[in-house]
Structure 1
Amino acid sequence: MIRFGVVGTNWITESFIEAARTITDFQLVAVYSRTEEKAKEFAEKHDVKTTFTSLEEMAQSKDIDAVYIASPNSLHASQACLFMNNGKHVLCEKPLASNSKEGQFMIDTAKRNNVLLMEALKTTLTPNFQVIKENLHKIGKIRRYTASYCQYSSRYDAYKAGTVLNAFDPKFSNGSLMDIGIYCIYPLVVLFGEPKEVKASGYKLASGVDGEGSLLLTYDDMDAVIMHSKISNSYLPSEIQGEDGTIIIDKVNPPEHIEIKYRDGSKEVVSIQQDSNSMVYEVAEFIKLLKANQLESSINSYHNSLITLKILDEARKQVRVIFPADQQVNL
């Protein structure tokens, strides 16, 4: 069994636990929260006996093999490195870090300690993303990737009423690009690699984070168009356009219905049924790697995570979104 601890007691951790408990060899053994009351409440709900209010004590525990980190983005790097320096494997929520400098430091720490570090970007690990990869050849020379993920945040109402919650606070390295845009960017990187050029625009909120924006990414013989937002909704599908046909993807997070429309007018549905809790696949990948003594995912790889962070860095620079984490010299 792989004995897991969880850092964070929010809804995403709830979803993670629900998914993970369907995977053989997963065992939840510890919960961390800043307050003892919250830690005990969450642990009792999930039938866990061990709680921590000190990350240092949790990292030093001999009863934990791996941790799932679902804390605010700005804490990912320091918390992950603490655990890795204590020999723990880390599954870290997306984005892996606040910026590429932090991301590289995390990767170096993982390598130095011979532990597994993987970004929990679930889309690229789902069966239907694999379907997309396997069917790319059918649409001929690929010329354009378009991805739209625009989802009005329930926390935006509080923001407009004068309360800046974590989702719109630069102190936590948040905003539309980091929370929503990454779901469009990471699959692009996995499929097509690093772009030659990044152009970004967006609307910067008074709090200092971006509320929405767009990216145009240039490759040798194709381009990519990305739209993201936390202050409006979009109902557009995403597409990969080729000279012989187009793959239409209902949504990027996660893809569920995938159809190819060929230039001759014919259509082909290629999507398959997958688990309703798509986090199952990231947990399965993580545990599979550990059981095989592999310390890096070939899909959510260090290379792909770093390229994604570099794109996010450049896009934020152009939109003039700066996080306190960008100013830190040392972790």
Structure 2
Amino acid sequence: MVRFGVVGTNWITKRFLKAALQAEDFQLTAVYSRTEEKAKEFAGKYGVEKTFTDLQTMAASGEIDAVYIASPNSLHAEQATIFMNNQVHVLCEKPIASNAKELQKMINAAKENNVLLMEALKSTLMPNFLAVKENLSKIGQVRRYFANYCQYSSRYDAYREGTVLNAFKPEFSNGSLMDIGIYCIYPLVALFGKPEEIKATGFKLESGVDGEGSMVLKYPDMDAVIMFSKITDSSLPSEIQGEDGNLVIDRISNPEKVELHYRNGEREDLTRDQLSDTMYYEAVEFINLIQSGKTESEENSFANSMATMEILDEARRQIGVIYPADQK
């Protein structure tokens, strides 16, 4: 069994635990929250006795082998480093850091302590993304990657009424690019690597974060077009276009249906069965890596996370989004 602690008692942690508890070797043994009352309340729902309100104490307790971090983006780097410096493996919610500078420090800490660090980007580990990857050659020379993820945030209603919640605060390294756009960018990097050029535009809210945006990324033999938003909805699927056909992906953030359209009109359904609790696959990947003695995922690798973060940094620079974390 791999003994896990969790940092964060929000909805994403609950969703992760619902999925991870289905993994054979997952065991939840500790919960962290800023207040003891909330930590005990959350832990009680899962029959967990160990609770902490101090990260250093939790990291040094010997009660956990690994930790899942789902705190605000701006806290990821500091918190992850505390655990890694105590030889605790870290699965960190996406985006893994505020910027590339923070991420490099995290990678350095992982290597110095010989522990596993992995970004919890679920989609690249799901069966239907693997179907895309394994069938990509069937569409011939790829010429365009198009990814679309626009989902109106319920928190935007509060914003429009004058209440700025964490999702739209730059001090937490938030905004549509970091929270939504990354789902379009990470699969691109996983499939095709880092682009040669990046052009980004977006609408910046008065709070200082982006509400929506678009990107065009140039590769030697293809381009990529990305649309992301937390202030509008979209029903468009994503698509990879090749000279011999195209792959249609229903949702780039959570691919459930994948279809290959050949130029002659034929279609091939590539959809694979997968669990509805889609975070299961990242939990299993992480556990398997620990049990195999590995300190890096081949899929959600340091290189892929760094390339993605560098793209996010450049896009934010062009849109004009600056975080307090960038000034450190």
Question: Normalized against structure 1, the TM-score is what?
Answer: 0.99
SS at match of 1:264: coil
- Residues 16-62 of structure 1 show CA distances to partners (whole Å, capped at 9, x for unaligned) of 11111110111000000001111111001111111101111101111
SS at match of 2:271: coil
1:225 alignment partner in structure 2: 225
Q: CA deviation at 1:273?
A: 1.1
1:178 alignment partner in structure 2: 178
2:212 alignment partner in structure 1: 212
1:29 alignment partner in structure 2: 29
Whether 1:277 and 2:277 are equivalent positions in the alignment is yes
Instruction: Please give the alpha-carbon distance, in whole angstroms, between the structure 1 residues aligned to 2:267 and 2:4.
Output: 44
Instruction: Please give the alpha-carbon distance, in whole angstroms, between the structure 1 residues aligned to 2:290 and 2:87.
Output: 13
Q: CA deviation at 1:201?
A: 0.1
Q: CA deviation at 1:283?
A: 0.3
Instruction: Please give the alpha-carbon distance, in whole angstroms, between the structure 2 residues aligned to 1:83 and 1:119.
Output: 15
SS at match of 1:274: coil
Matches within 5 A, 1:48-127: 48-127=48-127
Code of the residue aligned with 2:264 in structure 1: it is D
SS at match of 2:275: coil
SS at match of 1:253: coil
Aligned residue pair count = 328
Structure 1 stretches of 4+ with a deviation exceeding 3 A read none
Instruction: Please give the alpha-carbon distance, in whole angstroms, between the structure 1 residues aligned to 2:205 and 2:283.
Output: 35
Instruction: Please give the alpha-carbon distance, in whole angstroms, between the structure 1 residues aligned to 2:35 and 2:164.
Output: 22
- Residues 122-146 of structure 1 show CA distances to partners (whole Å, capped at 9, x for unaligned) of 0000011110011101101100000
Instruction: Please give the alpha-carbon distance, in whole angstroms, between the structure 2 residues aligned to 1:309 and 1:165.
Output: 24
Instruction: Please give the alpha-carbon distance, in whole angstroms, between the structure 2 residues aligned to 1:134 and 1:47.
Output: 41
Whether 1:300 and 2:300 are equivalent positions in the alignment is yes
SS at match of 2:71: coil
1:137 alignment partner in structure 2: 137
Q: Structure 2: 5+ residue runs without aligned partners?
A: none
Identity %: 67
1:147 alignment partner in structure 2: 147
Code of the residue aligned with 2:276 in structure 1: it is S
Instruction: Please give the alpha-carbon distance, in whole angstroms, between the structure 2 residues aligned to 1:46 and 1:226.
Output: 39
Q: CA deviation at 1:161?
A: 0.8
Instruction: Please give the alpha-carbon distance, in whole angstroms, between the structure 2 residues aligned to 1:319 and 1:93.
Output: 24
SS at match of 1:228: strand
1:257 alignment partner in structure 2: 257
Instruction: Please give the alpha-carbon distance, in whole angstroms, between the structure 1 residues aligned to 2:153 and 2:218.
Output: 29
Q: CA deviation at 1:254?
A: 1.0
- Residues 73-110 of structure 1 show CA distances to partners (whole Å, capped at 9, x for unaligned) of 00000000000001100000000100000001000000
2:196 alignment partner in structure 1: 196
Q: Structure 1: 5+ residue runs without aligned partners?
A: none
1:157 alignment partner in structure 2: 157
Instruction: Please give the alpha-carbon distance, in whole angstroms, between the structure 2 residues aligned to 1:236 and 1:25.
Output: 38
- Superposition CA RMSD, Å: 0.5
- Residues 213-237 of structure 1 show CA distances to partners (whole Å, capped at 9, x for unaligned) of 0000000000000000000000000
Structure 1 window deviating more from structure 2 (266-275 vs 172-181): it is: 266-275
SS at match of 1:200: strand
Question: Normalized against structure 2, the TM-score is what?
Answer: 1.00
Instruction: Please give the alpha-carbon distance, in whole angstroms, between the structure 1 residues aligned to 2:20 and 2:49.
Output: 18
Instruction: Please give the alpha-carbon distance, in whole angstroms, between the structure 2 residues aligned to 1:176 and 1:251.
Output: 17
Instruction: Please give the alpha-carbon distance, in whole angstroms, between the structure 1 residues aligned to 2:157 and 2:195.
Output: 35
Code of the residue aligned with 1:284 in structure 2: it is V
Code of the residue aligned with 1:105 in structure 2: it is K
SS at match of 2:157: helix
